[in-house]
A and B are shown apart, each in its own frame.
Chain A
Amino acid sequence: MEWLQQLVNGISIGSIYALIALGYTMVYGIIKLINFAHGDIFMIGAFVGFYGLTHWHIGFIPSLLAAMIICSILGVVIERLAYKRLRNATRIAALITAIGMSLLIEYTTIFFRGAQPEAYPDDAVISKTFTIFGTQISSESIIILATTIILMVLLQFIVHKTKIGKAMRAVSHDMEAARLMGINVNNTISATFAIGSALAGAAGVVFGLYYTKIDPLMGIIPGVKAFIAAVLGGIGSIPGAMTGGMVLGIVETIVSAVGFSMWRDAAAFIILILILIFKPAGIFGKNTREKV
């Protein structure tokens, strides 16, 4: 039953990685940019959720929604201010800008509220532990998983059934052909940032719920891990990001469980190195040949 317990823990952390990884992969899919500021949007989401719960007292779901809305606005603002004008620049220029953006968000947050950590309240959601087959499942784990599943289903619906979702897929495949359809490419890119950032914001809130402690630099490691998850799944692929996040979460938990908890972070990077050597396209990586 110990293994089942680890699996539950792995799925919880994996859900958080998956939510963040989705934003990475969607943005990469559409403008081929690794948005290194994405982990910091996750951090902002965690703080908005924190203030919602402790200062504004609006309860869990409204706090979650507030975090998602504020993060999506932030994502769009970052794209319009920093990345849009670099669309025809070299990729390295955009990448450096993304790293700069990341530092800017981190230290602006510290400037305004200090670097001290905060703790999510214990009573944010009903705290209860269920025992199933000798496995302890906390209500927080269930909420994380439920939130993740709902958001992923919603995302699949948006991407496959709505007009903006089809536009997003069209732009990510061929920007010029999308223009010829009359698709407004700028708005579509903004929508992608909005959706990806909202998911990161939600991830921030459920992270706070699960791990309690949050601070302005908390986005760095989960951000990098989610990036690894996105690469593992195949960058640009939405099902890939979901799977990659889950796999990474479970692998990390197993590594800790067998007694190598010091190696937990290293395991993630070893996965990154191995995937880049042996299957750079990732699990769901596209391998389509072009027809002429």
Chain B
Amino acid sequence: MLKVENIDVYYGNIQALREVSLEVNEGEIVTLIGANGAGKTTLLKTLSGLLKPKKGTIEYLGKSIAGKAAQGIVKSGISQVPEGRRVFANMSVEENLDLGAYLRKDRDGIKKDMERVYELFPRLLERKNQSAGTLSGGEQQMLAMGRAIMAKPKLLLLDEPSMGLAPLMVQTIFRIIKEINEAGTTVLLVEQNAHMALSIAQRAYVIETGKVVLSGDAKELQESDEVRAAYLGGL
């Protein structure tokens, strides 16, 4: 579904990604784990069209999307839940969800998906007229996910959904990610919480200072000494 090959991405003169290659197949949950500053967010930004790769190719559903504008990428079915949620705090929960469906014109479909989001996150329904800035961190994460679902994505990119959340809330969020995936959306999950991420993903990539250093089956990586030492809190 998504095939990234040897991309290099720079912030000005600073190289953030070095020859990163990665593949996501339809229906999978793939996770990308790594420490702070490894380049995880950079990769997602590049996939969403916020950054342009200097080198390499990105193929999505057989078409090149490297360097395409963000608008076109959302339209083609990739939506992102950004790091730190980035909800529109000055707007209501419902308005945030409406904005998720910004490029869609099928009113009935939007209404149906709105109902689906409220089913997945009943908490959002309770607070639909409340301004998003007044929500708790976990609720904002739910809103950011709901907002991304409103675009009706084929591929959902999630950037550290567990960040700053209480353990119980993390459990809930990961259960819902699984649900979304089971309903037919492919997921690329970026996480620092390697343990949780590996437990729901089929395959995983480990990124270090802009390079993919390990990849493979999520279960196998969970067992591997290298990953355990670096990301799962010792042996």
Chain B CB within 8 A of A1 CB: no
Residues on A with C-beta less than 8 A from B98 are: 166
A169-B70 contact, Cβ under 8 Å, with A176-B82, A182-B103: no
Chain A CB within 8 A of B34 CB: no
Do A170 and B99 touch across chains, with their CB atoms under 8 A apart? Answer: yes
Do B50 and A180 touch across chains, with their CB atoms under 8 A apart? Answer: yes
Bound-state CA distance A245–B151 (Å) is 40
Least Cβ distance of B208 to chain A in Å?
25
Chain B CB within 8 A of A89 CB: no
Interface stretch (choices B71-79, B168-176, B199-207) = B71-79
Find the B residue at minimum CB distance from A176.
B50
Find the A residue at minimum CB distance from B72.
A182
Residues on A with C-beta less than 8 A from B102 are: 163, 166-167, 181-183
Find the A residue at minimum CB distance from B147.
A181
Find the A residue at minimum CB distance from B71.
A182
Find the B residue at minimum CB distance from A288.
B133
Residues on A with C-beta less than 8 A from B89 are: 173, 288, 290
Do A177 and B95 touch across chains, with their CB atoms under 8 A apart? Answer: no
Find the B residue at minimum CB distance from A172.
B90
Per-residue contact bits, chain A 144-177, to B (CB 8 Å; 1 contact, 0 not): 0000000000000000000100110110011011
Q: Which of B68-107 contact A (CB under 8 A)?
A: 70-71, 74-75, 79-80, 82, 84, 86-91, 95, 98-100, 102-103
Chain A CB within 8 A of B140 CB: yes
Bound-state CA distance A183–B73 (Å) is 11
A291-B133 contact, Cβ under 8 Å, with A174-B86, A179-B70, A182-B71: yes
* Pick from A169, A176, A182, A183: contact of B90, CB under 8 Å: A169
* Pick from B70, B90, B140: contact of A180, CB under 8 Å: B70
Bound-state CA distance A182–B103 (Å) is 6
Bound-state CA distance A212–B74 (Å) is 52
* Count of interface residues, chain A, beta-carbon cutoff 8 Å: 21
Chain B, interface residues (CB within 8 Å), range: 20 to 34
A sample of 21 inter-chain contacts (CB < 8 A) reads A163-B102, A166-B102, A167-B99, A167-B102, A169-B88, A170-B91, A173-B89, A174-B86, A176-B82, A180-B48, A180-B50, A180-B70, A181-B103, A181-B147, A182-B71, A182-B75, A182-B151, A288-B89, A291-B133, A291-B140, A292-B137
* Pick from B86, B100, B135: contact of A176, CB under 8 Å: B86
Bound-state CA distance A22–B136 (Å) is 32
Find the A residue at minimum CB distance from B137.
A291
Per-residue contact bits, chain A 178-189, to B (CB 8 Å; 1 contact, 0 not): 111111100000
Residues on B with C-beta less than 8 A from A184 are: 71
Least Cβ distance of A88 to chain B in Å?
11
Chain A CB within 8 A of B164 CB: yes
Least Cβ distance of B75 to chain A in Å?
6
Closest 4 CB pairs of A and B: A182-B74, A177-B86, A182-B103, A179-B70
Residues on A with C-beta less than 8 A from B82 are: 176-177, 180
Q: Which of A201-253 contact B (CB under 8 A)?
A: none
Bound-state CA distance A176–B88 (Å) is 11
Do A166 and B95 touch across chains, with their CB atoms under 8 A apart? Answer: yes
Q: Which of B205-229 contact A (CB under 8 A)?
A: none
Bound-state CA distance A182–B153 (Å) is 12
Least Cβ distance of A24 to chain B in Å?
19
Residues on B with C-beta less than 8 A from A292 are: 84, 137, 164
Residues on A with C-beta less than 8 A from B99 are: 166-167, 170, 178, 181, 183
Do A169 and B50 touch across chains, with their CB atoms under 8 A apart? Answer: no
A173-B90 contact, Cβ under 8 Å, with A163-B102, A166-B99, A291-B133: yes
